Amino acid sequence: MKLVLPLAALALAHAGPAAAFLPGPRRALLPGLAGTTVPGRIALTFDDGPATDSTPQFLRVLAEHDVHATFFVLGTEARKVPGLIAEIAAAGHEIGVHGWDHRCLLRKTPARTHRELRATRDLVERLTGTRPRWFRAPYGVFSTGSLVSARALGLRPILWSTWGFDWTEGCTPDSIHRRVSCNLGTGGTILLHDSDVTTGNGAWRATLGALPAILAECRGRGLRIGALGHAD
Ligand SMILES: [Zn+2]
């Protein structure tokens, strides 16, 4: 029993921040994770890229609407397409760290998590000349170690306030638009995906189709849309 209790406590300490995944507890415990809380603004973010088949199409639609976004990239994907990372940055978008790969951080040691976050941050900086400021854990599940590492690496953890469920089989532009609209509010953050690297189901096409309607919805509600760290 003497041994079990400390181990249980350690496990809880490791997994505790995972509760941030749940919208209710997240808002209550860590309000800053939902967005930058700037009145009148909403941040647009994309996870899981970059991918050569999908990401350039998102860049095209964003350019057509004169909107910037934050792309949370994976190191494993970014190193395959360094030119695309540079292209995202050159178009004026922000790049954040999603992780080296998409495995849940609760399955990694703190040391490995630190190495991977640093490697992803440094890769983005090398390819764009700009050091990333933001970190969003895969599945929105932060381990305690990842939060300690993020602080040491100058990365601010961030989640979202609304999402499109746009990774799911069978999602449509209309279902994504409706989902995002449910919790669309001032100071919040929209989560979408510019790649299907974790599912391979092509759902990004529905996301791309939903994007113009989502941007129109934000503007219709008087919200300024932009990247997390921009003042636009
Ligand atoms: Zn992801």
- Position 17 pLDDT exceeds 60: no
Ligand 1 mean position to 18 CA, how many Å? 15
- Position 60 pLDDT exceeds 70: yes
Residue 8 pLDDT: 41
Ligand 1 mean position to 197 CA, how many Å? 9
Strands (E) located in 50-205:
70-74, 94-99, 134-135, 156-157, 162-163, 188-193
Segments forming the whole domain that contains residue 157: 38-226
- Position 3 pLDDT exceeds 50: no
Residue 150 pLDDT: 96
pLDDT tens column, 91-122: 999 999 999 999 999 999 999 999 999 999 99
Pick 201 or 177 by higher pLDDT. Answer: 177
Active-site residue, selected from the candidate residues 68, 177, 193, 196: 193
Write the CATH number for 105.
3.20.20.370
Asked, for residue 150, whether it belongs to a domain, the answer is: yes
Question: Tokens standing for 126?
Answer: 């090398």
Asked, for residue 30, whether it belongs to a domain, the answer is: no
pLDDT tens column, 64-84: 999 999 999 999 999 999 999
Ligand 1 mean position to 221 CA, how many Å? 28
Asked, for residue 212, whether it belongs to a domain, the answer is: yes
Closest Cα to residue 218, out of 193, 195, 189? 189
Asked, for residue 7, whether it belongs to a domain, the answer is: no
Asked, for residue 129, whether it belongs to a domain, the answer is: yes
